[in-house]
Amino acid sequence: KAGVTQTPRYLIKTRGQQVTLSCSPISGHRSVSWYQQTPGQGLQFLFEYFSETQRNKGNFPGRFSGRQFSNSRSEMNVSTLELGDSALYLCASSITTDTQYFGPGTRLTVL
């Protein structure tokens, strides 16, 4: 069974631009969560989606948004990029509140 895939793996943007990251969960997994990892703050929860509904959102500004499609694939969008948005963005999928399976991440650099 294929694992969680994230595209693109690496991305370079400039301040003020917007970016869309994609996550394809493991087949059969209906839950997708997104996390941001930075050297200073560590791992922080962004969103959780289940069956196309956002169930939880972390403490991030409105520039961060996401959605989930009927095939469980998910996207997150960051508008008006800031230097501090440079991070590794990870998504994870799961069937239940048991094990989460993480993707390899998208490393975003904002210049």
Report the residue from 21, 78, 105, 110 that binds another protein according to the rule CB under 8 A: 105
Binding flags for another protein, 50-89, as an x/- string (CB under 8 A): x----xx-x-----------------------------x-
Residue 43 in contact with another protein, rule: CB under 8 A = yes
Q: Which two tokens stand for residue 72?
A: 């469980």
Nearer to another protein, 78 or 87 (CB): 87
- Cβ–Cβ < 8 Å for 72, 48: no
The amino acid that residue 91 corresponds to is: C
Of 19 and 106, the one with the shorter C-beta distance to another protein is 106
What CA–CA distances, in Å, run from 65 to 1, 35, 39, 98, 99? 29, 12, 22, 25, 24
